[in-house]
Amino acid sequence: MRQIDNFINGVFLPASHSRRFEKRSPVDNRVIASIAEASHADVDMAVKAARAALNGEWGRLTQDQRVDLLYAVADEITRRFDDFVDAEMEDTGQPEHVMKHVFIPRGAANFKIFADVIKNVPTESFMTDTPDGRGALNYAIRKPKGVIGVISPWNAPFLLMTWKVGPALACGNTVLVKPSEETPFTAALLGEVMNKVGIPAGVYNVVNGFGPDSAGEFITSHPGVDAITFTGETRTGTAIMKAAATGTRDVSFEMGGKNAGIVFADADFDEAVNGIFRSAFLNTGQVCLGTERVYVERPIFDKFVTALKAKAEGVKFGRPSDHGSNYGPLISREHQTKVLSYYQKAVEEGATVVTGGGVPEMQGELAEGNWVQPTIWTGLPETAAVVREEIFGPCCHISPFDSEDEVVAKANDTEYGLSTTIWTTNLTRAHRMAGRIDVGITWINSWFLRDLRTAFGGTKQSGIGREGGVHSLEFYTELRNVCVKL
């Protein structure tokens, strides 16, 4: 059983009030770890350590020295690749291949890419006319924002946390990370990496716990935290924004989605089926960019539903390390209950259940895990709860459409605006639609194909701000202008 402590000022510490909580395995609900729950005093200590580092050794490093250290962090993650893969598999129950090929390499890349960005992105300058004819030079410099609160979710814990810690540190900030209470393993491991490569104490701090009246709220309400970057549910974002209003602290929010997948009759059929299968069911549907609403052009509707059904019925449930298994459970019993309640609601709303709708039969200890079947519905109106609300499970509703205007209107008829995926061989139409669908990220004939230099974020209730590449610098630095009279 793992013992996870808080990581404050370069030292692993139990909570000052000795409180701990249990972490269960998603695959069988056995208790697999004991986690220190940070007190208010612990968070305060971490904020002070982060401030001291900012004003101390870390703040005095040159950009080159900082960049070298971030490269060393990425290299050390790669050296300890198996430890990170094991920790994340144990934490989330998701298959080994997803960890090895997406989540852990991306975590390492998050340190390298932002080290490169900060080194290579220039700031602006302007020559300004003045009445005396001598002119003035304006130029901008970037300064770290300060102590950054990083609040992250459980669905891709390491990738999503490092997506924020990487740029924050590259820009010279210090961080206070609160991983999800469901998935604290890799944030702790990263503390070991930071110490090993010589990141000064206090630069990277981890406090564990929950949201309200716990570490999450202690961070967001702490006056010593200069800005808050958050990934999670829109409802939580609202609470954090209220807390951030005190002291008018800046926020960057990556939140929920109810993303549309759109398949035209002229699409490469097999690629579209495979693409929507991934977008609806990868990571057991626990991906913010996933497609829970699928719209298929009428001439291929029946054929598409049949093909997606066959793929959904082909998944092999099992432990991440089981040979031949490729499908994991949901993160927690609580989340399983929520997803199953939507499965029930879909039936009550009159859906045709094409496949799934329940819990797969599992043997032995696995029968205690948080399993749910990949589920496909058809036949519901756009007003149905399962078509409107983010479920965050392995499920989608598929409906037919007849025209581009109709499907654009349906795709946009949501309070969210994170991403969309469009499948067609008519690229003129695809480009046109990309401008019409109100989301932060449009994929054409692909999904989750990420270039970390591009802008990432959502419109409407899916987020505030953009991160990625140079856009991360906007949040993690203060741009200051210097005007020199010549």
Extract the tokens encoding 178.
Answer: 């609160």
* Residue 258 found at the interface with ligand NAD (CB under 6 A): no
Q: What are phi and psi of 470, to 5 degrees?
A: -65, -25
* Residue 458 found at the interface with ligand NAD (CB under 6 A): yes
Nearer to ligand NAD, 37 or 254 (CB): 254
Of 443, 159, 160, whose CA–CA distance to 291 is shortest?
443
Of 232, 260, 285, 296, whose CA–CA distance to 418 is shortest?
260
Among 32, 102, 197, 239, binds ligand NAD (CB under 6 A): 239
* Residue 257 found at the interface with ligand NAD (CB under 6 A): yes
Among 111, 154, 158, 264, binds ligand NAD (CB under 6 A): 154
Q: What are phi and psi of 125, to 5 degrees?
A: -145, 150
Is residue 254 among the annotated active site residues? yes
User: For residue 413, how many other CB atoms are within 10 A of its CB?
Assistant: 15
Nearer to ligand NAD, 52 or 239 (CB): 239
* Residue 307 found at the interface with ligand NAD (CB under 6 A): no
Nearer to ligand NAD, 29 or 208 (CB): 208
Among 88, 181, 226, 250, binds ligand NAD (CB under 6 A): 181
The region of 194-202, 205-213, 380-388, 446-454 touching ligand NAD under the rule CB under 6 A is 205-213
The region of 54-62, 96-104, 165-173, 174-182 touching ligand NAD under the rule CB under 6 A is 174-182
The region of 14-22, 24-32, 150-158, 313-321 touching ligand NAD under the rule CB under 6 A is 150-158
Candidate list 37, 90, 254, 467, residue with the active-site label: 254
* Residue 418 found at the interface with ligand NAD (CB under 6 A): yes
* Residue 93 found at the interface with ligand NAD (CB under 6 A): no
Among 44, 233, 474, 478, binds ligand NAD (CB under 6 A): 233
User: For residue 168, how many other CB atoms are within 10 A of its CB?
Assistant: 29
Among 166, 211, 275, 320, binds ligand NAD (CB under 6 A): 211
Among 122, 133, 212, 435, binds ligand NAD (CB under 6 A): 212
Contacts of 95 (CB under 8 A, 6+ apart): 89, 320, 325, 326, 327, 328
How many residues bind ligand NAD, per CB under 6 A? 32
Residues 394, 313 contacting (CB under 8 angstroms): no
Among 217, 226, 250, 292, binds ligand NAD (CB under 6 A): 217
Among 73, 147, 160, 346, binds ligand NAD (CB under 6 A): 160
State the nearest-atom distance from the C-beta of 214 to ligand NAD, in Å.
7
Nearer to ligand NAD, 90 or 181 (CB): 181
Extract the tokens encoding 458.
Answer: 């959502």
State the nearest-atom distance from the C-beta of 418 to ligand NAD, in Å.
6
* Residue 165 found at the interface with ligand NAD (CB under 6 A): no
* Residue 155 found at the interface with ligand NAD (CB under 6 A): yes
* Residue 232 found at the interface with ligand NAD (CB under 6 A): yes
Nearer to ligand NAD, 63 or 459 (CB): 459
Among 202, 216, 393, 394, binds ligand NAD (CB under 6 A): 216
**Closest-approach residue to ligand NAD (CB):** 211
Residues 250, 410 contacting (CB under 8 angstroms): no
Nearer to ligand NAD, 155 or 162 (CB): 155
* Residue 180 found at the interface with ligand NAD (CB under 6 A): yes
The region of 68-76, 90-98, 226-234, 369-377 touching ligand NAD under the rule CB under 6 A is 226-234
Nearer to ligand NAD, 301 or 343 (CB): 343
Give me the 26-55 binding string for ligand NAD, x by CB under 6 A, dash otherwise. ------------------------------
* Residue 15 found at the interface with ligand NAD (CB under 6 A): no
Residue 32 and residue 380: Cα distance in Å, rounded?
Answer: 41
Catalytic residues: 254
**Contact set with ligand NAD (CB under 6 A):** 151-155, 160, 178, 180-181, 210-212, 216-217, 220, 231-233, 236, 239-240, 254-257, 288, 390, 392, 418, 458, 462-463
